[in-house]
């Protein structure tokens, strides 16, 4: 199969790309700042630049599956403190519109019976202080999945909603502070640990291979809604 992972230069996207390539799929990675990666075909494409996205898909041509892990989100802060209207705009520009732009331009290149997989996150299913902007953008992405599944059929459209992961998302957070965050989250989750990029990569493989799944949000979050956080 020929699979595009948009946002595959690091974290979950890279883990998924490596897993899929290891099983024999032709994997193409695209994203802002993506450099050469051994054994993988890569393209540096800015997900906020629609003409660049369009040119990328024109060059790549027909594909079987499109996985869109791209999306930068500002973790925000207090609604009456750090959060502003600009914070909301930046969050939606960095995640919602990137994924919508890529899906809009890439959908016409997905072969019949293929799939598009979006990425949201658990903040819209479990109330957490300081995450109102992230909750909003994740909820918006999950909300469009059923409609896109109808409009783009027979292309399957699903979303993966991860919980807290030990990935490059946390780059810049001091090590001691980060370990305290992970320890607190792990103690509150039923599974007793935070997730990894590899956990979500296996979910990507499952969604791609599940030909009877569409319009679904797959939650891989360690039991976040039942957590004691």
pLDDT in tens, 150-207: 999 999 999 999 988 888 777 777 888 889 988 988 899 999 999 999 999 999 999 9
Instruction: Say how far apart CA 117 and CA 39 lie, in whole Å.
Output: 23
Q: Stretch 207-212: mean pLDDT, rounded?
A: 98
Q: What is the pLDDT of residue 66?
A: 98
Spatial CA neighbour of 72 closest among 97, 49, 50, 55: 97
Q: What does the chain come to in residues?
A: 229
Which residues make Cβ contacts (< 8 Å) with residue 92, sequence separation at least 6?
Answer: 136, 137, 140
CA 133 from centre of chain: 16
Report whether 45 contacts 29 (CB < 8 A).
no
Grade residue 228 by pLDDT with cuts at 50, 70 and 90: low
Q: Cβ distance 229 to 184 under 8 Å?
A: yes
Helix (H) or strand (E) holding 131: none
What's the half-sphere exposure (Cβ side, CA atoms, 13 Å) at 36?
2
pTM for the model stands at: 0.93
Measured from the Cβ of residue 77, the count of other Cβ atoms closer than 10 Å reads 16
């Amino acid at each position: 199969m020929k699979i595009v992972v948009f946002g595959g230069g690091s974290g979950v996207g890279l883990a998924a790309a490596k897993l899929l390539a290891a099983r024999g799929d032709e994997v193409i990675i695209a994203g802002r700042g993506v450099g050469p990666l051994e054994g993988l075909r890569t393209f540096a494409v800015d997900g906020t630049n629609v003409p660049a996205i369009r040119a990328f898909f024109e060059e790549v041509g027909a594909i079987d599956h499109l996985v869109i892990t791209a999306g930068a989100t500002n973790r925000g802060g207090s609604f009456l403190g750090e959060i502003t209207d600009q914070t909301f705009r930046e969050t939606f520009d960095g995640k919602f519109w990137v994924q919508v732009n890529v899906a809009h331009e890439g959908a016409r290149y997905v072969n019949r019976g293929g799939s598009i997989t979006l990425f949201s996150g658990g903040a819209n299913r479990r109330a957490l202080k300081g995450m109102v902007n992230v909750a909003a953008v994740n909820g918006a992405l999950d909300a469009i999945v059923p409609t896109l599944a109808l409009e783009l059929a027979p292309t399957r459209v699903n979303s993966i909603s991860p919980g807290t992961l030990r990935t490059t998302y946390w780059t810049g957070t001091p090590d001691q502070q980060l370990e305290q965050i992970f320890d607190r989250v792990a103690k509150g989750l039923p599974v007793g640990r935070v997730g990894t990029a590899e956990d979500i990569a296996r979910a990507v493989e499952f969604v791609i291979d599940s030909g009877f799944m569409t319009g679904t949000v797959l939650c891989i979050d360690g039991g976040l809604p039942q957590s004691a956080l």
